[in-house]
Amino acid sequence: MEVKIETGWHQQLAGEFEKPYFGELIEFVKGEYQTATIYPPGQQIFNAFNSCPFEKSQMVILGQDPYHGPGQAHGLSFSVPDGVMVPPSLINIYKELKADMGVEQPTSGNLTSWAAQGVLLLNSMLTVRAHQAGSHQGKGWEEFTDAAIRALSEKKENLVFLLWGSYAQKKGAFIDRIKHLVLSSPHPSPLSAHRGFFGCGHFSKTNEYLSSKDKIAIDWR
């Protein structure tokens, strides 16, 4: 099955494309796009991988579902296109970024510039029905994105994984903590950010670690 995805990622995930679950997943997703409103737009399903090539990947920020409101999702976790209102969780991410690094809150919620620096903005599920959070859980996306995380953990060294919230922490339980830096905190959602996301210092800790490994720190602006 031919999947349009960045070459390095295609090499790492080629085995997944041939597995029965992936064929069933693609048939399910195709049917959903034909019969319902699905986000993100079809050509942006694999945007996280295409925006952050495997060889350039320096870190992962793991989300759960794509946004399920009109015009919000574009294939990058926590990110929205230019001109779309910044969602509450991302507002809190920006607040922590300012407190941690002194970065003023951007007017846009588009995090494409992070992806271009090697930040894989990966959701566990890559598609969702409009206004139905979690509607594509259990269809195969979790297995596929686990394979992507496993490829990074096994094939690369000195990456940073940001696991915000219990869902991300469970999903990232198998990441090799000896080879990589794994930072965990409560989710940046308004419901939980005050329980430890604020003050976590993950952005400065990421850059300190990358610099200590002779890697280029992330410009979070």
Active-site pick, 65, 100, 146, 219: 65
* pLDDT for the residue 185: 98
Q: Give me the phi and psi of 105, to 5 degrees please.
A: -65, 125
Q: Considering the entire predicted model, what is its pTM?
A: 0.97
Q: Reduced to 3 states, what is the DSSP secondary structure of residue 145?
A: helix
Active site (annotated) includes residue 146: no
What is the per-residue DSSP string for 18-53? TSHHHHHHHHHHHHHHHHS-EES-GGGTTHHHHHS-
Element (H, E) at 135: none
Q: Using 50, 70 and 90 to split pLDDT, how confident is the model at 125?
A: very high
Percent of the chain with pLDDT over 70: 99
Report the distance separating Cα 86 and Cα 107, nearest Å.
Answer: 8
pLDDT at residue 62 greater than cutoff 70: yes
pLDDT tens digits for range 143-171 = 999 999 999 999 999 999 999 999 999 99
pLDDT tens digits for range 71-118 = 999 999 999 999 999 999 999 999 999 999 999 999 999 999 999 999
Q: Using 50, 70 and 90 to split pLDDT, how confident is the model at 3?
A: confident
